[in-house]
Amino acid sequence: MLYEVNVEFNKEFLIVKENQITIGIKSKPIKGEANKEIIKKIAKHFGISTSLIQIKSGHKSKQKIIQIQD
């Protein structure tokens, strides 16, 4: 399933509404640290492995498209 993800920095939350996720992270967008934190938080929220989550687009953007494998 594909989700649109909006990222906010220096915050700590995760809201899922239909196919949209709004997430607050503490990591800085340096060397992929922010993307790693996003994947970890989403995996924990859905109770799945991080290997089932892929960032499809927006690797360097606050707006991302992620895919969660079934």
Q: Quick count: other Cβ atoms within 10 Å of Cβ 5?
A: 20
Residue 49 sits at φ, ψ, to 5 deg, of -75, 145
pLDDT tens string 6-55? 999 999 999 999 999 999 999 999 999 999 999 999 999 999 999 999 99
Domains and CATH numbers, the chain: 2-68 (3.30.1200.10)
pTM value is: 0.94
Q: Kind and range of the H or E element at 65?
A: strand 63-68
